[in-house]
Amino acid sequence: MFLDLLTIPKDDPIAFTFFTGYMAMLAASVFFFFERGSVDGKWKLSLLVSGLITGIAAVHYYYMRDYYMATGENPTALRYIDWTLTVPLMCVEFYLLTKVAGAKSSLLWKLIGASVLMLVAGYIGEAFNPEGGSTAHSVKWGVISTVGYVYILYTAWYGEVANLAASSGNEAVKTGVRTLAWFVLVGWAIYPIGYMCMPGGWLNTSLGWDSTNVDLFYNIADAINKIGFGLVVYSIATSSSKEA
């Protein structure tokens, strides 16, 4: 059985992305941890958080890969455990980047609260949907989850985070925060699309899309979003350190 779990079928792209995602996240963590020594002190915590995000994801991808190889099923619980830890940390990055412009701890907790609401509601909607898929259940919890997502999106583009970045006087922070806002708008959009492909979801009931390949898209999106977030933070940290 142990050897079977390590065998990746050549015709299974989902298994391939689980393994690739694990290795990419692990490599990114090593990079971020080592590069902490090359940036100014005020940015070290931001790079530490970036390393934690990809490190936590790497551990979960290791177990999700084995779960998928053993069962062929979506590792829903493991994935949401990963997201519940890493997505709030991604929101923490917004706070750390704008702290130099006077961001208060209240912003941090509002972002964390919104991310937890988004994820808990999404998990209830996906994992506790009645057998066969209830559209009413999926829509209700999907709407609640969207409230948290829209709050984070608005804050990053037009709200407190955007305003603090604009007033920071640091071009690297301004550009970086706007790039992260694009990640939230475009990169995070794959997750509600995946949610709506589950039994009872709008895309499942109206267009017939199913959850067969959801893990493929989730794995690619996770790698791009989490590693991409960290690289943007790294770019801000190195640029600001050179100017100091």
Would you say residue 174 has pLDDT above 90? Answer: yes
The reported pTM is: 0.90
Grade residue 214 by pLDDT with cuts at 50, 70 and 90: confident
DSSP labels, 71-134: H-S--HHHHHHHHHHHHHHHHHHHHHHHGGGT--HHHHHHHHHHHHHHHHHHHHHHHSPPTT--
Would you say residue 224 has pLDDT above 50? Answer: yes
Question: What is residue 11's predicted lDDT score, i.e. its pLDDT?
Answer: 73
The mean-pLDDT minimum among 29-38, 131-140, 145-154, 227-236 falls in 131-140
CB 43 within 8 A of CB 100: no
Question: What is residue 8's predicted lDDT score, i.e. its pLDDT?
Answer: 66
Would you say residue 19 has pLDDT above 80? Answer: yes
Could you tell me the domains of the chain?
2-243 (1.20.1070.10)
pLDDT tens digits, 123-141:
998 888 876 667 788 889 9
Question: What is residue 244's predicted lDDT score, i.e. its pLDDT?
Answer: 56
Q: What is the distance of C-alpha 133 from the center of its chain?
A: 26
113: how many CB neighbours lie within 10 A of its CB?
14
Question: What is residue 74's predicted lDDT score, i.e. its pLDDT?
Answer: 85
Would you say residue 95 has pLDDT above 90? Answer: yes
First to last CA, the chain: 55
pLDDT tens digits, 69-84:
888 888 989 999 999 9
Tokens of 119: 């994820």
147: how many CB neighbours lie within 10 A of its CB?
12
Please list, in sequence order, all residues whose beta carbon lies within 8 angstroms of the beta carbon of residue 141, skipping any fewer than 6 positions away: 121, 122, 124, 125, 126
Closest CA to 208 of 195, 197, 193: 197
